[in-house]
Amino acid sequence: MIVVHHLNNSRSQRILWLLEELGLPYEVKRYQRDARTMLAPPELRAVHPLGKSPVISDGDLTLAESGAIVEYLASRYGSENLIPKNGTPEHLRYLYWMHFAEGSMMPPLLLKLIFDRIESGPMPFFVRPVARAIAQRAKSLMVLPNLERLLDFMESELAARVWFAGPAFTAADIQMSFPVEAAAVRGGLDEKRPKLWAWLQSIHARPAYRRALDRGGKYELLR
């Protein structure tokens, strides 16, 4: 039995979704973020030294890193539908978006989260103006323009095809779900990018996505 070590409101939601798309049985072991720090509880470090989610176990195997987990599950248990055939242009695009999700899109989204918190979080009054000025400057010079470019790029890619890898839904769409959802919550994505917005609505309408929400519990991404 595959076990998903699932942290609330986190990247592990997409693993539940993938397992639902694959129609595999699995167990969900839940972990709660610390309400103040939003960090994972120390129990997760007993499963994997980094103590991050997602982590899965499958028999003797323990695997972390969502891209690796998606690749493992889709190639071991998936039909060819979820990973395009090797050597095709769709496969190259699949690879690209699989890596883009965590490699290019998540870093500025995380920086936005951190700088927003610095701006609004509690701190001694004499430090506040300086901390706010640094956070605002970093966001306006680097984080926000970068996010805009990334979102424009995704929008232009989806203007040419329905799903990220091509005409068919693949595991890359599952891997891309978390950054696009995070961008909708805190990265400036809205209906003004109609292709990306429509893609988001269409993943949310998939029956497997809905079932994964039932299994995972409340899913509200951090702002």
| In contact, 17 and 209? CB cutoff 8 Å | yes
Considering only 2, 5, 10, 74, the residue that binds ligand GSH (CB under 6 A) is: 10
Q: Does 13 bind ligand GSH (CB under 6 A)?
A: no
Scan residues 164-183 and list those touching ligand GSH (CB under 6 A): none
Q: Does 11 bind ligand GSH (CB under 6 A)?
A: yes
Q: Does 40 bind ligand GSH (CB under 6 A)?
A: yes
Cis peptide before 89 (omega within 30 of 0): no
- Binding mask 85-104 toward ligand GSH (x if CB under 6 A, else -) reads -----------------x--
Look at strands 61-64 and 55-58 and give their pairing: antiparallel
| In contact, 56 and 69? CB cutoff 8 Å | yes
Distance of CA 142 to the CA centre of its chain: 21
With CA atoms as reference, report the closest residue to 18 among 80, 66, 87, 85. 66
Window contacting ligand GSH (CB under 6 A); options: 6-14, 72-80, 156-164, 211-219: 6-14
Q: Does 116 bind ligand GSH (CB under 6 A)?
A: no
Contacting positions for ligand GSH (CB under 6 A): 7, 10-11, 39-40, 52-54, 65-66, 102
